[in-house]
Amino acid sequence: MAMIASEFLGLGPHGFHRLHYTAWGEATNHRVLICVHGLTRNGRDFDHLAMDLEDHYRIYCPDVAGRGKSDWLTHKADYGYPQYLNDMNALIAHSGARTVDWVGTSMGGLIGMLLAAQPNSPIRRLVMNDVGPFVPKVALERIGEYLGKAPGFATLTEMDSYIRAIAASFGPLTDEQWRHLTVHSAVQAEDGSYRFAYDPGIAEPFQAAGLEDVDLWPVWEQVRCPVLALRGEESDVLGHEDAMAMGQRGPKARVVEFQGVGHAPALMDEGQIRVVRDWLLAEHV
């Protein structure tokens, strides 16, 4: 089975926008998995996970608006969770599935949690990768230091070195895996240089809101589906105590920590993939 690329339309307060996704698995499979990336990433981050799970699911890996190959929003203030929830609901409708399983890294995990907390949610099982109901201000400040400020690069090799430095917290990856992240993070300009495949404008509402602790515990308490919470042992986005609390409150998540990793586990390593696969498929064994 091969990966295919396609698109659907999202609707925001200032018109329609095109959203790109990659899909894996048999189109007739009624079991659907949606994988959503982090703040500045894109759907190709999940290629390794999708290849492992495509025999079990029909898998959709979207590029959130302003990222990857999806349209940039004209009004930068529209970049935010209300728009992302609307767009992902449109993707669920586009899939034709009545229920879906969800894997979300960082921002993608929060989108999944917010959807799962809604009455009559179609989210059946939820994996939250290194994010939870509480995000400390210090982590947001660190993210704000690089968000929207990435330089241009003369070569992909130069960009690869930069990504290895700023994303060192992803954990130990092979050269092939780093190259995969680089190639699918890059857009080549007319002059032959490379830049990151996201709209720098996503930083505007992030910074305009002011950086404070984000407390979504009341939302967490409304989640009713089973949850797997993954944490990089060195993460500053999801603290150890908060991860443990996720296992005691609300849906009482199963919590797994990965050693030697910060924010966020790349889900490219076979050991990390196995944890996700085994949990998602446990009821079918």
- pLDDT one-digit tens code per residue, 205-264: 888 777 889 999 999 999 999 999 999 999 999 999 999 999 999 999 999 999 999 999
Q: What pLDDT is attached to residue 279?
A: 97
pLDDT score, position 147: 83
Residue 284: its pLDDT value, please? Answer: 43
Distance between CA atoms of 10 and 63, rounded to whole angstroms? 12
pLDDT above 80 (res 275): yes
Asked if 204 contacts 79 with a C-beta cutoff of 8 angstroms, the reply is: yes
Which amino acid appears at position 166 of this protein? I
Residue 151 confidence (pLDDT) above 50 = yes
> Which of 98-114 are b and which e, b meaning 16 or more Cβ less than 10 Å from the residue's Cβ?
eebbbbbbbbbbbbbbb
Which residues are CB-contacts of 63 (< 8 A; sequence separation ≥ 6)?
19, 20, 21, 37, 42, 43, 69, 70
Which pair of tokens denotes residue 150? 């990435």
Report whether pLDDT(179) > 70.
Answer: yes
Task: Delineate the domains of the chain, giving CATH numbers in brackets.
Answer: 4-135+215-284 (3.40.50.1820)
Given pLDDT bands bounded at 50, 70 and 90, which one contains residue 2? confident
pLDDT at 285: 35
Give the residue among 284, 274, 226 at the shortest CA–CA distance from 29: 284
d(CA 275, CA 277): 6
How far is 43 from 62, CA to CA, in rounded Å? 5
pLDDT cut 90: percent of the chain above it: 88
Q: What is the structure's pLDDT at 148?
A: 75
* Least confident range of 34-38, 145-149, 219-223: 145-149
Average pLDDT, the chain: 95
| Antiparallel, parallel or unpaired: β 134-135 and 214-215 | antiparallel
Identity (one letter) of the amino acid at 113?
M
Q: What is the mean pLDDT of residues 122-150?
A: 91
- Work out the pLDDT band at 150, boundaries 50, 70, 90: confident
Dig out the tokens for 128 from the structure.
């939250």
Mean pLDDT, range 111-120, rounded to an integer: 98
**pLDDT band (50, 70, 90) for residue 1:** low
pLDDT tens readout for residues 57-71 = 999 999 999 999 999
Please state the three-class secondary structure of the chain as a single string: CCCEEEEEEEEECCEEEEEEEEEECCCCCCCEEEEECCCCCCHHHHHHHHHHHCCCCEEEEECCCCECCCCCCCCHHHCCHHHHHHHHHHHHHHHCCCCEEEEEECHHHHHHHHHHCCCCCCEEEEEEECCCCEECHHHHHHHHHHCCCCCCECCHHHHHHHHHHHCHHHCCCCHHHHHHHHHCCEEECCCCCEEECECHHHHHHHHHCCCCCEECHHHHCCCCCCEEEEEECCCCCCCHHHHHHHCCCCCCCEEEEECCCCCCCCCCCHHHHHHHHHHHHHHHC
